[in-house]
Chains A and B, each alone.
Chain A
Amino acid sequence: MKHKILALLMVLALALTACGGRTEQAGDEGVIVLRMWVHTNNAFIAGYEAAIAAYEAEHPNVDIQLENFDYELYLQTLQTAMPAGEEADILQLFGTWTSQYYERLAPVPPEVMTVEEAQQTFYAAPIGGFIVNGVLYGMPQEFNMEYGGVLVNKSLYEAAGLTYPPQWQTMDDVLADARALVQTDASGMMTVAGFHFTSADPTAFSFLAGIKQRGGDYWNADRTGFTFNTPEARAQLQWMVDAVNAGVVDPVVFNDETNFVIDAFFQGKVGIGYIGSWAIAEGQANFPDFADEWDYCYLPPFQGDPVFVADSGWGLTVSPNSPHQDIAWDFVKFVTTNPQIATQWNIASGTIPAMPVVAESPEIAAAMPWVPKALEILPYGQYLGNMPDRDLVVYEIIYPHILNTLQGVETVDQALQAIDTEANSTFR
């Protein structure tokens, strides 16, 4: 009988251990331990480690433990941990995802920051994603700008006899340079793309920006549906088709899966490579031996003002299951709104600041000379909008159909009709 009771107790103990909920995490006596989850990006992590060290120096009773996961694993971990209430206290989240996760996030307490204060503190695009139904759920750290920025290979420019730095007034000037930069082998296969704009994000975001700049919109009036089959969308897609027909890029050989723009640019296969500025740090880290001289520049608008749309980039949120939400929010505010900390984080991660006051600082200009060039167009940035599933719309609908059109598999009309139908089907 004694053995049976003992066995039963052991099984119960095992079961309780396995099914146990969040445990109060305490290290040394009096020290409050907070866990923080981020995706693996060495440049980002270096920035977080410095920010944590600064916070812990000011708050010796707080110990913030940083845990990182590969991007795909991070998504899976969030999706399994959140329903179980086992997520970390502080969560790094891509702002645009907030509309999918907000039910499992803690709202920002008004005493920490109100929606109005957030809108005054940050650029419109980065903060937009963290506001769902008028409630603020986090604070952004970067302006995730996929529109307009390009890597330019100075060595290829000079080899082609072009003026450097480029003096683009219109997109026609860009195409003229790109045509001169193209190289092909004896069999006719393109070996150097003049203007590689056919990766997923550049294609999708230049398409959306083109619609806006031509006076159109891809949202209906009350933002309950998409309007992609419009004259403005047709004009923008036709511009992209014409650029391909002009021979600036072969979208079969240069796209998101083959010769992705960062890899291709830092192997000398691209003259002008369309990609967000986050690619700079990644390219430098992954291709340290790349010998060509290069720079990061901004494109002129397709038409009118350089209006564009952007995701809310990476930012920080807090779990509603955290027993120390007040401290977690204090840390989040410290990291995202303290100009000194935000500056060091943006420099370390190579990202455009989410706050105008930081973006305009001389420290940023000195460390990231491409940011001052962006200052003229950053105020034109609008938030992408809370789509039912942003990744599905961008990566499985907009980009594939545009790429099909550029590769000659679909016509412009077929692509726009398909994008419109499929994107609207995501509202269920």
Chain B
Amino acid sequence: MNYTSQKSLTYNPSLTRNIGNKALTIISALFAIISVLPLILVISYVLIKGGSYINFDTLILEPEPPGDDLLSAGGIGPAITGTFIMAAIASIISIPVGVGGGIYLAEYSKSGKFAKFIRFGSNVLAGVPSIIAGVFIYAIIVSTKILFGSMFSGIAGGISLSILMLPTIIKTTDEALKLVPNDMRRAAFGVGASKFTMITNITLPAAFSSISTGVLLALARAAGETAPLIFTALFSRYYITSFDDLFYEMGSLSVLIYNFALEPYEAQNQLAWAASFILVIVLLTLNILSRWIGTLGTFSKNKV
């Protein structure tokens, strides 16, 4: 029998299926361009417009109250320190708890009912809107004045940010530890290590780079959050000068942007752009850093 077809085997661009294919490829390329466009636009506006308002004074001075001085709005110094302090408070709370929780999930109870419930719970917690975290902290810390009688405070702001960091850190620790091969655990037990020694000396160091990736990503997310801060830390125009100031209102870059963007004064709006320049630079650096660290680890996701 003769199976050779009379049709040509060369590519025929006028076939319906080839035209359809081309059209769909072009459409998907268009979609990809549209998806990348916002990033380019936002970043270039923030860098160009924000960067043009950056100078030494803007970085150091305290912001002026809106409307006082139409030409200058002062600077964003206290907001920068405030963001760092609250991010630090959030990290001090959420890193130990998150890494500990992750250790429990990965090392002690791999598929127990309780572990399943905790994994489910941390996924749900990750989905809780950030403003709800603010409302929650307002209800239990700010309105009850539980922190030595202070109401709005940097500490309350830091605690509300830690709620947002917790699920990410637990999840990445859990996943990072699961990537460490069981052979290493058996080897450690084989030479007589206790479980505590095994975890602290073998598995945690092996998973360190993946865990720090997660921690940095969580930190980057928390540092840019506004919603939980607007009624926990509120805003302050002044630098903190003593430890006691942690128990009072504290400014942050994100709340400064929110407050000053909606002011009718040009000078304040410019300060908002300057603040978003600093914030975006810090967050992009954290993100790129976390990607780089993620590629370093022995058992990181990208390598296995």
Are A and B a genuine interacting pair, yes or no? no
Which residues in B have some Cβ–Cβ distance to A below 8 Å?
A: none
Which residue numbers of A lie inside 8 Å of B, CB to CB? Answer: none
